[in-house]
Chains A and B, each alone.
Chain A
Amino acid sequence: MNGSLKPTSLVTPVKQPVGPYRIPKHHVFQDHRRFGFSHIMLLVVILFLFIPLIVVIVYSFNAGKSMRWAGFSFQWYAHLLFDSQELWRAFANSFIIAISSALAATFLGTLSAIGITWYRFKSRTYVQIISFLPMILPEVIIGISMLIFFSAVHIPLGMVSIFIAHTTFNLPFVFLLVSARLDEFDFSVIEAARDLGATERQTLVKVIIPAIMPGVFSGMLMAVTMSLEDFVITFFVSGPGSTTLPLYVYSMIRYGVSPVINALSLVLILSIMLIALISRRFLKTIAAAS
């Protein structure tokens, strides 16, 4: 300092000699960089999760048909692209079901989340319970009960029954994700809109929906993923001509290792990575919801 008026001295902090401060030994607890027991476990689990997937991906480039390495080749990808009509038909079915059931679940789930979060009415608790149960019951139970239901009310098994089943198991997740978003929502904005003369519908369309869009979007992405992923429930409620991708994969892997499935695995894993990347902002909400 020394009376210097240099402007820099105003912003540059002056270093004071400080006696050596020893961090108490246990405060290394706080240190994120330390590689402790929990980090080792995390590493082990991540390796455990990825090793089988990596093996399959590596062997998708194998020239041979077995799990013995016989040189590098793209032939199974060529097979997958040009020689697997049945697989792509199954994929198209899966895609149609995923998009339509995700849209339906998102629409119904979002409306319901708005109703439940902001209003009190008689059947509120009932809806809360009934939207929680499908998430916790094992898939086999939901599959069987739907199969018996469809046969009791004479709905033929096919694309329609799969659509109904997928919408049903997607609904609770969308509902939960949107509700989580609504809980963070600043309620006074709605009152402001009302005070300024907006009608119920205007408030919904111009205020509420734009604000909850991220939650709605992540809910829909999750619904699409879960629908594409589902095997057990679809297994029960599908009929002839409505084979979905997981059902097709099932019929193939019953006969052992198939290099085309290896190639398909890489394609699917890459698309999942893309979805995870797109929804990275919501991963924490998704973690809290699942």
Chain B
Amino acid sequence: MKAIHQNSTRNRRLGFLYTAPMGLWLTLFFLVPLSIIVTYSFLKKGLYGGVEWEFTFAAYRQMINPSFFRVFLRTLWVSILATTITMILALPCAYAMARSRHQVFYLGLIIIPFWTNSLIRIYAWIAVLSSEGFINEALRTLGIIQESLPLIYNQGAVITVLVYMYIPFAILPLFTVIDKFDFQLLEAARDVGSSKWQSIRHVLLPNIRSGIITAVLFTFIPIFGAYTVPLLVGGKDSYMIGNIIVDQVTKTRNWPLAAAFSLIITAVSTFGVLWMLVSTRKERRRMKTGRAIV
């Protein structure tokens, strides 16, 4: 690490001065709002939105409700499925990109849709899938179908679009770790007689573990909190926790319940981050002892 004069009090003060503005900003506009949510989840619901200052577990009791539980299970299931599909597509993709001589070109191709407005991207899928959309119109013109195929407003559409939205989140960290990987290790494994798949499974994958974990987290967590995709391409039976939260805020005006649901998502995310920190720390310790996994 490159810390100047670790013990100098003068520089201690300087470091603090440089960092204080951002620290204060994030404390005030991120940590304080988050603490307010924690507090609100234990308060009584106000009549017209807002809260009354009375301590209660009412919000948490309302959560124990079969219909909410169903949404929770569905959210979990959709997140796991979409993350798995994303990873299966993203791993070989990132591998091919890292080994390519046109890395920047491919990165650009991944980043362009990634940076394009998320609503435009969802809209593009509506234009492709809806009953008067591209696919249905094309099939009708070709005379293959008369009635429109139900391609949108169902669970399949939600998962497809979720994979579409979040696959760059997986490809980019995977690309970064695979790019740093020493490919001679793979050849060494091949030289001692392992097959291509064996060498990938036992040499490449363990060495890019940290990137895989990051990729899983960066797709799973936003999908778990997804709101726009199930709203715009899902049907009535594709509601996810994110939708419940927003409905509680904007329609039902039950802020404590929205806060309690938000805390669940926050807890899941924090747990994921801790898991990532612990496993990357382990990996760093192994790197220090100079052992790549072979």
Contact = CB atoms under 8 A, between A and B. Distances in A.
Nearest to B27: A130
Contacts, number: 325
Contacts of B191: 24, 26
A42 B175 CA distance: 12
A15 interface: no
A37 B23 contact: no
A280 B187 contact: no
Given A118-B2, A140-B245, A229-B118, A130 B26 contact: yes
B21 A108 contact: yes
Interface string B268-283: 0110110000000000
Given A140-B246, A187-B2, A256-B130, A53 B19 contact: no
Nearest to B105: A280
A49 B25 CA distance: 36
A284 B30 contact: no
Interface of A: 24, 26-27, 29-30, 32, 36-39, 41-42, 44-46, 48-53, 55-56, 59, 66-68, 108-109, 111-112, 114-124, 126-127, 130-134, 136-142, 144-149, 151-152, 164-165, 167-168, 171-172, 175, 187, 190, 200, 225, 228-229, 231-232, 236, 245-246, 249-250, 253-254, 256-257, 261-262, 264-265, 268-269, 272-273, 275-277, 280, 283-284, 286-288, 290
The 5 closest A-B pairs by CB, nearest first: A138-B225, A119-B15, A115-B18, A149-B33, A52-B124
Interface of B: 2-4, 6, 11-19, 21-23, 25-27, 29-34, 36-37, 40, 50, 89-90, 92-93, 95-97, 99-101, 103-104, 106-113, 115-128, 130, 132-134, 137, 141, 164, 167-169, 171-173, 175-176, 179, 183, 186-187, 190-191, 196, 217-218, 221-222, 224-228, 232, 242, 245-246, 249, 255, 258-259, 262, 265-266, 269-270, 272-273
13 contacts: A36-B96, A66-B137, A115-B17, A119-B12, A120-B12, A120-B15, A124-B19, A146-B29, A149-B33, A225-B115, A261-B120, A272-B116, A276-B115
